[in-house]
Amino acid sequence: MADTNAPKPSSSVKLVLLGEAAVGKSSLVLRFVNNDFQENKEPTIGAAFLTQKCNLPTRTIKFEIWDTAGQERFASLAPMYYRNAQAALVVYDLTKPTSLIKAKHWVAELQRQASPGIVIALVGNKLDLTSDSAGSAEVSGGGDDNAEDSGDARKISTDEAKAYAEEEGLLFFETSAKTGHNVTEVFTAIANAIPETSLKSARGPGASHAGVSRTEEQRVNLNGPRDLEAKEGCAC
């Protein structure tokens, strides 16, 4: 909170990244947090935790980012990480059809098991591997206007993924963590999409239902208010 303008309200948002292994989840986060890119990023074991602020006109959002491991067998650990998450980035590799299927599974999982009202963004990464990324300088183009391409590594058309995202009510972006294309936009869009109400009760009683065992739920209920105070007290 140190560097935010005094009048702007600040709140933290728990965001979780899910998706098949090696689609670029960690790279997206690294790009967003450090504006950096590493060719050979160590696979995430369990999950990595990072934070980054996102300044909106009216408020500041501090993202608490949980970057999860992508390998299939780590899936059973995911509930631990998406518990109480207010936002999720479900990432696929747009050069790899299976990764979209996996992404759909994650979306379904989140819709049923995560906190109600979770904001989900579907992100097709590795746009730099497609031919339409040639002019990666265009920053605001979004993925929307990309037509079906031929002769590049793209295997999932924008239309297909977009149609799915619309059907499920997801935010949709195509990004390149390598070039940085659209990365910040994703997070900004998520920040904007988080309802004000959910921010107020951030991680309080209201936001923690699904995926929490009964005892945990009780625990949250018992301590909810205090928890909230603590939260506001130290948004360090």
Partner 1 sequence: MLNLSSFVQKAQQLLDPTQGLNLTDSDKNPSKASLFQSQFRLPDSQHPLYEITAELTIPPSNVTQGGKDQDRGFHYAGKLHLSEAYLCFSTTPSSFLQSASTSTSSAFTGQTHGGGPSGNGFTFPLSSIRRVERLHSQNFQFALAITTWNGISQDALKDNKDKKEVREQRITIQLAGTRVACERFCDGLKKGLRAAVGNVGKLKKVIGECYSEYLLRPEEQKSANPPDAGLGMIFRYPGDPKKLRDRAKMRLWAEYLRDNGRNVTLIRQPTFHKLIRVGLPNRLRGEIWELTSGSVYLRLENPTLYADTLAKHSGKESLAIDEIEKDLNRSLPEYPGFQSEEGIGRLRRVLTAYSWVNADVGYCQAMNIVVAALLIYMSEAQAFFLLSTLCDRLVPGYYSTTMYGTLLDQKVFESLVERTMPILWEHLVKCDVQLSVVSLPWFLSLYINSMPLVFAFRVLDVFFVEGPKVLFQVGLAILRINGEELLDASDDGAFISVLKNYFARLDESAHPKSENPKLRAVTRFQELMVVAFKEFSGITHSTITELRLKNKDAVLNNIESFAKRTAIRNLGPESKLLSTDELGAVYDRFYGVLYERQQRDLIIKQEEARRAKSNRISRIGQMVDEGNVEKGRVGLGPSTSLMDYDAFREFLAGIAKWAVSDSPTQSRRDTGSSNGGGFYNSFRKNESSMSPWGNGPEPADHEFLQRLFRKWDFDSSSALTLQNVVTGLARIKGKRDIMGTINYFFELHDDDGDGKVDREGILRMSEALLFLSRRGLEGTLDRATAPNGMMTEGMVTPGNEVPDQSVNERFLGSVSAFIRRCFEYADPDHPNNQNSQQPAQQQTTSHPDAFAIGDDDDDFDEENDDDLLAMDSPTASPRPAKRSEDTATSSLQPPSSLHLDPSTAPSSISNNDEDRRRRVSRQQSEKANIALDPNNPLHITLPTFRMVVLADELLEQFFESSFPCSFHLVEGISMSSGNSSNAGSSSYGVGGLGSTFSHMGFFGGGAGGANSQQGGAGAGRGLRGVLDNIVTDGMRVAAEVRRRMEEAQRELEKNALPGQHKPGGANRGGGDDEDDDEDDGGPVEGLSLGGNGNGSGGAGGSAAGMRSGGVRSSDRDLLTGADAEASDPTAEAQLQQGSGGSLGGGGEANVGGTAKVVGVEFDG
Nearest to 136 by CA among 29, 9, 37, 4: 37
Q: Which of residues 161-180 bind partner 1 (CB under 8 A)?
A: none
Q: Which residues pair with 14 in a beta bridge?
A: 64
- Residue of the chain from 56, 108, 139, 193 that contacts partner 1 (CB under 8 A): 108
- Residue of the chain from 16, 29, 47, 119 that contacts partner 1 (CB under 8 A): 47
CA 118, CA 233: separation in Å to the nearest integer? 24
* CA angle in degrees (0–180, nearest 5) for 3-7-12: 60
Q: Where does this chain touch partner 1 (CB under 8 A) — which range of 27-35, 78-86, 120-128, 190-198?
A: 78-86
Q: Smallest distance from the beta carbon of 16 to partner 1, in angstroms?
A: 11
Q: Is 122 in the site for partner 1 (CB under 8 A)?
A: no
Q: Which residues pair with 51 in a beta bridge?
A: 64
Helices (H) then strands (E): counts for the chain: 7, 6
Q: Is 49 in the site for partner 1 (CB under 8 A)?
A: yes
- For residues 116 and 209, the answer to whether their CB atoms sit within 8 Å is yes
Q: Is 1 in the site for partner 1 (CB under 8 A)?
A: no
Residues that bind partner 1 (CB under 8 A): 12, 21-22, 39-47, 49, 51, 64, 66, 69, 71-77, 79-81, 83-84, 105, 108-109, 112-113, 203, 208, 219-220, 223, 226-227, 230-231, 233-234, 236
